[in-house]
Structure 1
Amino acid sequence: MEFPGELQATFVPDEGGFAFWGLAEPVEAVRALGLPEGRAAECALAVPDGDRVGPARVPSRVVELDAALPALRALPEDARLADSLRAWRRAARLLDDDAGDPEFADLAAAMPAAAHAVLDAEQDAIRAPDALLGLLRSSAGLGRALDRAGIHAELRPYQRSGLAWLTGLAGGGVLADEMGLGKTLQAICLLATREDGPHLVVCPTSLLGNWRRELEKFSPRTPVVVHHGPGRELSGELEPSTVVVTGYPVLRTDTAALTGIGWGVLVLDEAQQIKNPTAQATRAAARITARTRIALTGTPVENHLEELWSIVTVTNPGLLGSRARFRERFANPIRQRGSASATNRLRGLLGPHLLRRTKSEVATDLPEKLYATVACTLTGEQARAYTRAVDRAFGDGFGSGIERRGRVLALLTTLKQICNHPVQAGAEDGELTGRSGKLDRATEMLAEIADDGEHALVFTQYREMGELLARHLAGQLGLDTVPFLHGGLPVAQRDRMVERFQHDPDAAPVLLLSLRAAGFGLNLSRANHVLHYDRWWNPAVEEQASDRAHRIGQRRTLTVHTLVTAGTIEDYIARMHESKRALAGVVSGESEVSALAELGDEELHEVLRLDPAGVR
């Protein structure tokens, strides 16, 4: 058999397999090797260009790892192959033989440049052969490990690559993928496939319910313990597969109990919570004993170097030296002089321990829209108002017929408004911060989006809530004003808002919109985030609103964030949307009220009563 000697092979972790390239149309050559033909892709590789080597998007055939490895092992010894293919044939056979580090080190030392031509995260250098072989070794067993763990998710190639990176970490690291790329899912897969637990997840209190639900959804075999609330106690022997989820406030108060356990993996979610090295949470996190320490953050870490030092000092103690030494070697030269040499030295130190992917880098593998459900909690004030509203409505009774429908509608409206903010539901006005879990979470997200230089649309179905948001966000984001486009504005004023948001470089990064007034006909493609602040029963209405940004002219992946207050009527709506059953699958407008009104009081109470797990 004739083998195509010009065909090159490179392992591309973020594509989830091997890229075969070097020919204008590599598919026939791939078939000739006995490989599955894979899929067409343009991979970012370093290739010869005259007298130099430079980055390029190279036409390739990408064959998934599990399919490529057996075919590579089977290539005959006398085949006429490029050196890169010979190297990966050797790597596949070493994996099959369960070879040790010395054999892979020898292969790395002899690996030709074409075999590791895939660009690194900064897109200005190729991956080191030993690092690429390490990722291959971590990736090769992932499929079997995920199957054994019973993971209920189909990971995208870049997520598999991230999981392989997490699996291969020595000591710890920072997963700094951009918001919306699935850091939580990657961490859950790591926890589920590690058998040296128990494991500990620390997150903001508002995310406790989200972590519990995500673990139950994606890894249903994993025992989950939420360590929070009065009477909490970690008693008895925890199973090795158990994941304990707790909040940063509890980490501070229960440090002694938590440091008394030898954890397998420590996950620090929203790691900006430990960006201050003198804070109690940071000191407590540093005292936790764990074999692997992972920080998750979507905040661009290179913009705040001393905050980065604080986080990395928790995940990888000693890596960046003392704080004073870090300032001297890195922070001051980079901040004051823009020192390229200091930047490169820092990259070299962090490279094995920090993984950052952006949507633009993995856009070829992402759908045009990403969907993220953001779980929020009720504050004590909200929980009391919610319970009172439910108890009062059921105490008064709903009547029958049209009267029952009207009273159910009134209760639903009140409960939705309480989830938004107590002030919208008639509570005393004043300071808004700290009174609504949803408002606080939305503010955090929008501040992060603005800090990233990105833009967001925020939809609400209530004009009063839009006005509260406009007032609150202007103060929190340091803006003169946050525009709110709603049905009460003249058409000319709406048009000016749209024009400014789309084209004015000095415009606010956030545009608030009424769901109904702005759900049709507008082009707002400058936004690459959509945030649905409150829920509409019919998912098509939300989809139409999201499409204001998902239009011709949108060059970036759009992330649609839907805020859901856990344990409330919003949780019920979210489940209906996801399952495409009952109300969300069949209703339009207000017919969901009729469906709920037809339920008996006991069934209706089961839907509307507050689940205490959603209260912070």
Structure 2
Amino acid sequence: MAFIGEPAHGVVLWGGDATTRSIVLAPLTRTLPRAVRSHFVQQAPLVVPGADVPELVGEYLPRLAHVVGVGSRDGSVPLPGPTRVRLRGQVTWHEDASAVLAWRWVHSSDEGPERDLPVDDPTVGRLLRDPAREQQVVGLLEADETVAALLGVGQHGPGTLAAELRFRGLDALGFATDVLPRLEDVARRSDGSVELVLVGRTPDFRPATGVPEVRFTSSEGDHREGRTDWLELEVVVAIRDEELGTVQIGLAQVLAALASGSTTVMVRDHVYVDLDRPELDRLARLVADARAMVDQPPRGIRLSRDHHDLLADLAGLVEAGPSDGRVREWTRAAAALRELPATEPPAEPAGLQATLRPYQRAGYAWMSFLHEHGLGGVLADDMGLGKTVQTLAMVARARESDPQAPPFLVVAPASVVSTWVAEAARFTPGLRVVAITESAARRGWGLDRLAERSPDVVVTTYTLLRLEAAGYAGLRWAGLVLDEAQSVKNHTSKTYDAARRVEAGSRFAITGTPMENNLMELWSILSLTAPGLFPHAADFRERFAKPIEQDASPDALAVLRRRIGPVVLRRTKDLVASDLPAKQEQVLTVELGPRHRKLYDTHLQRERQRVLKLLEDLDENRISILASLTRLRQLSLDPALVDPEHEKVGSAKIDLLVEHLSEIAAEGHRALVFSQFTSFLSRVARRLTAAGLGYSYLDGSTRRRGEVVDGFRSGTDPVFLISLKAGGVGLTLTEADYCFLLDPWWNPAVEAQAVDRAHRIGQTRNVVVYRLVSAGTVEEKVMELARRKAALFASVVGADSLASTSLTADDIAALLEP
């Protein structure tokens, strides 16, 4: 005979006599070691001395039986019985409640001794092993996926597991209460294939007898950075146990346990506490939110006075356990701010001569609360919702509560200063308002003499704030109000720096557009009104601006909205529609630029002298007089309308218009823009194109008028430019809810008809009407006369009016007064 292949996979047998030969080929059912094959080939007997027979029977024959069949021809040799395979686990408990679990294979038979073989290396004792049986036994453990994963079943190959495992602390608790009972159950059901040996005493694990209690303590780290107060809280979870007394768990350990998904923490070798409690979940969420705002210490929480939502979340935890007074003061104020919408607003100040609508009362209450607590915020209501009157109501209440307090400082664009003065005189006439519209050199007195005027409110411009930054920073202010706060959206500008340096008890930004281009503009405004909310620009950019602007991250956006919610109050017209009149009208005063002003004043002097002479015969010279007035009206809009050489002078009215249109377009609104002068509408159109705002256009020269109108109604252009003469009547444009009248019309009825293109049956939204009036020009005079003699102006316009004598020489002369 001979073997085929290496390693051998078959055998060849041959035989017969000289005339007949036979050859038999057969496969091998198992692999034979080289030593066994050599005995077959040599066919020589192996003689074993009598003294070694026990060793032969006890050790070698059992191994050989795994390879080939073993038998005794005459029965004189006792053959080994079948080998038994057992998996033995030894659990050893130590004094510190730790445990060691060690596994070994035990192979035994009736004739030979037990043999221990490793469970993680199947190559050791290969000839003694029964791999199929080992895999079968390990399969009993695989039935429980949790146990199998813990024991490392199969990590070193089929039928293997981890040789030794150590358990400490929480792992030892889990082993004793969960894993060990499962192993004991497997052993009971294994018919002796799996056995467990316990060494040492199993610890008496038990829960602590007390209830976890969160404790907050102000640390020595409380301090003030600039205008921001910081609160450093040391946080521990304390448990009162009957046996151990008070046991404390550090914040880091609590958070690590909750983050891992485990709700249990060991407080001593055999005592544990369950952290599956709502207040601890709230604590973990609060710390996670705080870490998303500013860097946090490992043992506590660091919050600023402006982290209102986090402080409000903290309030419930603080009230439930022992905490010092400062912590309670801050958290109670934040909780009160959160509950403010459901709280009855304070009484309106006695000096307020206005009836606040419900949403305005809510805004007044919100601003008053923030002011009284030394905080700040952003009033970001839609245009036309009365942000000024809400602010004045807050100021009046503050002045009545503390007349000796420093004044309020209002900073606004130059074009809005007069509006503040007028609105204060109208709604809060008891407030002493000082408007600073000139530099110290031109007005003849410095800010150090401001107290001599005993103001309640000081209104100045952003330019003058920047030029006299040191003077404003050197005074004490009860509050700072930044109107049209987009003026300080650039945090690298000198104007922003000047506003930041002002020391005030409270700080408010008033703007319908807290951000126009990017989120860093919002950060700039918040850094002035709530400086501790997002203290570092770089952190805000990485945590919010980039994820939201570049990745449209819903998570970052949700967090940002939640953070700014307490300090940004925004109501849209849709939100408070039931509290608004059907149509709301407002005059926007426009201040001419210096060059524009000089040109206008020069022309005014010349036209005044000319018209006054023509008034000697009004009826004869009416057309010439109207031509002079028209030139002044055009010059009030844009000098280039009168002379193309003035192209580069610019138009403040167009600047203001485009700013408002950009804001309302960004909010999803649409606007109608009316002017008598098509040349002015053309200049507006060029600016809209430069600003990237789409528009439709309609004047007397427009062909296919119906298609243009239908195009706007069914399209997405946010702006419709319309000449009064071409589009003042006969159109229904209820898709728009804003109207801008760029030049006061002689006949108010014509303006009303134009506005009614949007404000008519079918309109489902409130309509806001803005009249843009250039300060110190004939436009203001037109407005004054319109209020006094509305019927008078109808006689100045139109063919039928040219023969009218109802417009007197005195009326026309009044239009030209300085």
Query: TM-score w.r.t. structure 1 length?
Result: 0.71
The alpha carbon displacement at 1:336 in A equals: 4.0
Unpaired segments of 5 or more residues in structure 2?
1-314, 321-333, 400-404
- Provide the C-alpha distance between the structure 2 equivalents of 1:467 and 1:326, rounded to a whole number of angstroms: 42
Residue 709 of structure 2 is matched in structure 1 by: 498
Identity %: 40
Q: Which residue of 1 aligns with 2:808?
A: 598
1:216, 1:167 → 2: CA distance? 21
Pairs aligned (count): 470
Question: How far does the alpha carbon of each residue in 1:276-326 deviate from its partner, in whole angstroms, 9 at most, with x for none?
Answer: 111111111110011010001101649832211111011111211211222
Q: Which residue matches 2:367?
A: 166
Q: Does 1:401 align with 2:607?
A: no
The answer on 1:430 being equivalent to 2:647 is yes
- Structure number with greater Rg is 2
Alignment of 1:110-509 (within 5 A): 130-131=336-337, 134=340, 139-142=345-348, 145=349, 147=350, 149=351, 151-169=352-370, 170=373, 171-195=375-399, 196-230=405-439, 231-232=442-443, 233-234=446-447, 235-238=449-452, 241-299=455-513, 301=515, 304-396=518-610, 397-398=613-614, 399-428=616-645, 430-431=647-648, 435-475=650-690, 477-479=691-693, 482-490=695-703, 492=704, 494-505=705-716, 508-509=717-718
Letter of the structure 1 residue corresponding to residue 468 of structure 2? D
Cα deviation, 1:12-51, whole Å, max 9, x if unaligned, reads xxxxxxxxxxxxxxxxxxxxxxxxxxxxxxxxxxxxxxxx
1:177–1:403 distance in 2 versus 1, CA, 3 Å: same
Equivalent-residue separation in structure 2 for 1:129 and 1:589 (angstroms): 62
Secondary structure of the residue that 1:483 maps to in structure 2?
strand
Displacement of 1:471 in angstroms is 2.3
Three-state SS of the structure 1 residue aligned to 2:478 is strand
How far apart are the structure 2 equivalents of 1:482 and 1:302?
19
- Alpha-carbon offset, residue 138 of structure 1: 7.1
Deviates most, 201-210 or 214-223: 214-223
1:408–1:597 CA contact under 8 A, matched in 2: no
Measure how far apart 1:525 and its partner are.
Answer: 1.6
How far apart, CA to CA, are the structure 1 residues paired with 2:529 and 2:521? Answer: 13
> Does the Cα contact within 8 Å between 1:404 and 1:597 map onto a contact in 2?
no
Q: Against the structure 1 CA distance between its residues 305 and 487, is the aligned structure 2 distance closer, same or farther, given a 3 Å change threshold?
A: same
Cα-to-partner distance string for 1:84-110 (whole Å, 9 max, x where unaligned): xxxxxxxxxxxxxxxxxxxxx99xx99
Asked if 2 retains the 8 angstrom alpha-carbon contact of 1:408 and 1:596, the reply is no
SS of alignment partner, residue 773 of structure 2? strand
CA-CA distance at 1:460 after TM superposition? 0.4
Partner of 1:513: helix, strand, or coil? strand
Distance change >3 Å, CA 442–CA 509, structure 1 → 2: same
TM-score (norm 2): 0.54
Residue segments in structure 1 that go unaligned for 5+ positions in a row:
1-104, 111-127, 611-616
CA distance in 2, matches of 1:293, 1:530: 32
Structure 1 counterpart SS, 2:746? coil
Other structure's SS at 1:563 match: strand
SS at match of 2:409: strand
For residue 221 of structure 1, give the secondary structure of its aligned residue in structure 2: coil
Partners of 2:805 and 2:493 lie apart in 1 by 51
**309-318 or 186-195: which moved more?**
186-195
SS of the residue aligned with 1:202?
Answer: strand
In 2, distance between residues paired with 1:345 and 1:443?
Answer: 32
Q: Is the 8 A contact 1:568 1:609 kept in 2?
A: no
Q: Residue 536 of structure 1 aligns to a residue in which SS? A: coil
How far did residue 412 of structure 1 move? 1.7
The alpha-carbon distance between structure 1 residues 257 and 499, as it changes in their structure 2 partners (threshold 3 A), is: same
Does the CA contact (< 8 Å) of 1:375 and 1:566 recur in 2? yes
Q: What displacement does 1:597 show?
A: 5.3
Q: Is residue 742 of structure 2 the alignment partner of residue 533 of structure 1? A: yes
Alignment partner of 1:588: what SS? Answer: helix
Where 1:535 maps in the other structure, the secondary structure is coil
Q: Match for residue 553 of structure 1?
A: 762
Q: Deviations over 1:35-77 (max 9, x none)?
A: xxxxxxxxxxxxxxxxxxxxxxxxxxxxxxxxxxxxxxxxxxx
Question: Could you tell me which amino acid in structure 1 is paired with residue 411 of structure 2?
Answer: V
2: distance between equivalents of 1:339 and 1:222? 47
> Contact conserved, 1:329 with 1:342, CA < 8 A, in 2?
yes
Deviations 1:135-168 (A, max 9, x none): 56672322xx1x2x2x332221111111111000
Distance, in Å, in 2 between the alignment partners of 1:464 and 1:290 is: 47
SS at match of 1:291: coil
What code does the residue aligned with 1:520 have?
Answer: V
Contact 1:518 1:545 survives alignment (8 Å): yes
Tell me if structure 2 keeps the 8 A contact 1:596–1:604.
Answer: no
Letter in 1 for 2:354: A
Q: 1:517 to 1:606 in 2, by over 3 A?
A: closer
